[in-house]
């Protein structure tokens, strides 16, 4: 089964002390097998700047593939932004699928999701403290959820690694954007290292 045709994915961030880039395993929760990989891909200059500047203020890129050494299926790209951060979502060939813009004033956090043509498509609503997010279309219908799953209290307290479940509840056409949204939540709201 193709990575973007899955209804459920468990996302597990790799644990690392003083790591300069993030890596996420994409796991089939039904059998525990690794079905994909999301790897942050930044220049040596950005890696060096991360020692001096808050990581959330620097640009980043995440390549999502079906495994180590395989071509990217999706690319998330966040440029420098202070108030409203934007995350572009591209397919593996670099064609825009859309973008997400963080909400300017929101207690729960989230994004507005736009098509490649810049038209509003959906919204990511949620609770940034509890990792409970929903992707809803403009009519308010749920397309999917991103829910925090604990990897053990000790692990969560002493590391910055996040684990969460991505579930597509609507048709699969929004799956690429839902997976992108789950990683964008981590990139924009949680990545303060």
pLDDT of residue 153: 42
Number of separate domains in the chain: 1
pLDDT of residue 115: 87
**119-162 pLDDT tens trace:** 998 888 877 666 688 888 889 999 888 887 555 444 444 444 57
**Average of per-residue pLDDT across 172-182:** 72
pLDDT of residue 43: 85
Taking the CA of residue 40 as centre, how many other CA atoms within 13 Å lie in the half-sphere pointing to its CB? 23
* 76-93 CB burial, b ≥16 within 10 A, e <16: bbbeeeeeebbbbbbeee
**74-121 pLDDT tens trace:** 999 988 766 678 889 999 999 999 898 887 765 556 788 898 899 998
The three-state secondary structure class of 29 is: coil
- Residue 122 contacts residue 97 (beta carbons within 8 Å): no
pLDDT of residue 85: 81
| Spatial CB neighbours of 169, under 8 Å, sequence gap ≥ 6 | 142, 143, 144, 145
d(CA 11, CA 30): 13
Q: Is the pLDDT of residue 67 over 50?
A: yes
The three-state secondary structure class of 175 is: helix
Q: Where are the alpha helices (DSSP H) in the chain?
A: 44-49, 153-158, 175-185
Q: What's the CATH number where 186 sits?
A: 2.40.160.200
Q: What tokens appear for 82 in the block?
A: 């202070």
| Spatial CB neighbours of 176, under 8 Å, sequence gap ≥ 6 | 4, 73, 74, 89, 91, 97
CA 138 to chain centre: 21
pLDDT of residue 36: 93
d(CA 67, CA 77): 19
**1-55 pLDDT tens trace:** 788 888 888 888 887 666 778 888 999 999 999 999 999 888 888 888 878 887 7
pLDDT of residue 155: 43
Expressed as residue numbers, the domain containing 170 is 3-190
More confident residue, 168 or 175: 168
């Amino acid at each position: 089964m193709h990575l973007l045709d899955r209804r459920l994915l468990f996302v597990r961030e790799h644990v690392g002390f003083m790591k300069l880039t993030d890596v996420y395993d994409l796991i089939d929760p039904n059998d525990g097998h690794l079905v994909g990989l999301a790897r942050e891909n930044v220049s040596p200059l950005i890696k060096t700047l991360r020692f001096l500047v808050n990581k959330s203020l620097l640009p980043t890129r995440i390549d999502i593939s079906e495994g180590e050494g395989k071509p990217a299926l999706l690319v998330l790209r966040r440029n420098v932004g202070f108030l409203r951060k934007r995350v572009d979502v591209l397919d593996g060939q670099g064609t825009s699928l859309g973008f997400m813009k963080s909400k300017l004033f929101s207690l729960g956090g989230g994004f507005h999701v736009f098509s490649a043509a810049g038209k509003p498509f959906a919204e990511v609503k949620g609770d940034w403290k509890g990792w409970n997010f929903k992707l809803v279309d403009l009519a308010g219908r749920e397309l999917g959820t991103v829910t925090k799953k604990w990897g053990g209290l000790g692990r969560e307290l002493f590391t910055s690694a996040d684990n969460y479940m991505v579930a597509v509840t609507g048709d699969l056409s929004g799956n690429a954007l839902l997976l992108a949204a789950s990683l964008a939540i981590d990139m924009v709201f949680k990545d303060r290292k």
